[in-house]
A and B are shown apart, each in its own frame.
Chain A
Amino acid sequence: MRVTFTANGRPVEADDVWEGESLLHVLRERVGLPGSKNACEQGECGSCTVYLDGVPVCACLVAAGQAQGREVRTVEGLGPGDGGLGLVQQAFVDAGAVQCGFCTPGLLVQTDALLARDPRPSDADIREALSGNLCRCTGYEKIMDAVRLASARAGAGREVTG
């Protein structure tokens, strides 16, 4: 079947999609957006987290046909669009929260969603928000640092511009 939807603000189209195929597979293999990672394929690891109509979900658990006509935003859509890094992405780099990098795209999207909802989350809120994103390298401490850094920088930005 044919599936069309919006990915990072751009209309995309995929043909010969198998009816049981996941949105993740379509993103990675058919429309050239391999940032979302395919790890567990059962919603356990969060590496494939994307926004679907503004709500963070595991792309491996969304049937491609369910995305028809909807808006998807992936890790590739978090930056400013000029090839540079977004605020959350830069904070992960600066805090050393990226090691092998496989979990990073999902953590970035989930952190982006957290800070959009709650610009100054407590440590408990951060742990809860990221509880569905597994990282086997960092031990999570640098990831916690990165989220706190992103939160602080976003706050400072608001004070300057506000």
Chain B
Amino acid sequence: MEFLRPATWDEALAAKAGHPDALPLAGGTDVMVELNFDLRRPPAILDLTRVGELTGWSRDGAVVRLGAAVPYSRIIAELSGPLPGLTLAARTVGSPQIRNRGTVGGNLGAASPAGDCHPPLLAAGRDVLVEAASVRGTRLIPIDAFYTGVKRNALAADELIRAVRIPAADGPQQFSKVGTRNAMVIAVCAFALALHPRTGTVGTGIGSAAPTPRRAVEAEDYLGAVLAERGLWESGEPPDAGVLRRFGELVTAAADPIDDVRGSAGYRRHALAVMARRTLTWAWNDYRRQIRGAP
């Protein structure tokens, strides 16, 4: 095994081009477990922790460009304003020690259906873009096209994730996750919701209840239409119980869960409907407070 230790982004791209089967390593919270348990023996490890630009973020108007190796603890401390959904999800990752190391780039690279940051990235909008780079150049992969299968993503063998471009929130965002305790839990299932009052749309993201993270498209369309037809964006009046129930049903219908050690498919379907109703209620209460200017 080789241990490749590029000091710059260009060196990292050259190393990946020269060793397409090298396994990128950032916080190590997934990769090191696989190495420790002899589950994976890559011919080379590509350590990205010395590439300084991966650990920064910037804001350009309405878009946050989040470096691939910004740890969750810094997202929580620095980005709760523009990225509230991702921040809520980051707070549920592992433990303080894990959040000091784990990164969104690593979560995307692993592409586990249970990865905590996927649902809020999907919910944040269709214009969330993964910056994938290689010596051939940079391309922007829409988040909807990024997840291609269980632990598979759209990256080519010579590509590395440089950053993720995420629209800053224009409305309330919520995240909910089911597990056996608050800390150190891989999601049994998870759900993220984002209200986008500027475009009159709703974003969703389902975690750990399908082969890939996915959005509930029909639920988004249904809720967006109801909110518009009934003038709720303007009035701030809450969607009624029938709307909440139908929204939950459509979220459940979008999932394709399996029975596994963490939970049954039936439980996941039930929990998704509950989380969909709850996150919508929480987010709408926040929205109503915002437009009415109440404390």
Contact = CB atoms under 8 A, between A and B. Distances in A.
A129 B100 CA distance: 12
Given A18-B1, A20-B45, A63 B95 contact: no
B32 A60 contact: yes
Contacts of A131: 95-96, 182-184
Interface stretch (A5-13, A42-50, A136-144): A42-50
Nearest to A132: B95
Contact of A66 (B1, B28, B35): B28
Contacts of B100: 55-57
Interface in B4-30: 5, 25, 27-29
Interface in A4-38: 18-20, 22
A56 to B, nearest CB: 5
B97 A43 contact: yes
A55 B102 CA distance: 13
A133 B98 CA distance: 11
Contacts of B32: 22, 43, 60-63
A128 interface: yes
Interface string A54-71: 011110111101101000
A22 B3 CA distance: 13
A63 B45 contact: yes
A49 B97 contact: yes
A66 B47 contact: yes
B246 interface: no
A43 B29 contact: yes
Contact of A63 (B25, B37, B183): B25
B75 to A, nearest CB: 15
Given A18-B1, A43-B94, A132-B183, A65 B101 contact: no
A111 B2 CA distance: 36
Given A63-B32, A68-B5, A132-B183, A41 B37 contact: yes
A132 B37 contact: no
Interface residues of B, number: 28
B33 A61 contact: yes
Interface residues of A, number: 28
Interface string A106-139: 0000100000000000000000110111000000
Interface in B31-70: 32-33, 35-37, 41, 44-45, 47, 49
Given A56-B96, A58-B101, A128-B96, A65 B183 contact: no
B93 to A, nearest CB: 10
B264 to A, nearest CB: 23
A68 B50 CA distance: 10
Given A131-B95, A132-B97, A65 B45 contact: yes
A1 interface: yes
Contact of B3 (A44, A49, A57, A63): A63
A44 B182 CA distance: 13
Interface of B: 1-3, 5, 25, 27-29, 32-33, 35-37, 41, 44-45, 47, 49, 94-98, 100-101, 182-184
Interface of A: 1, 18-20, 22, 41-44, 46, 49, 55-58, 60-63, 65-66, 68, 110, 128-129, 131-133
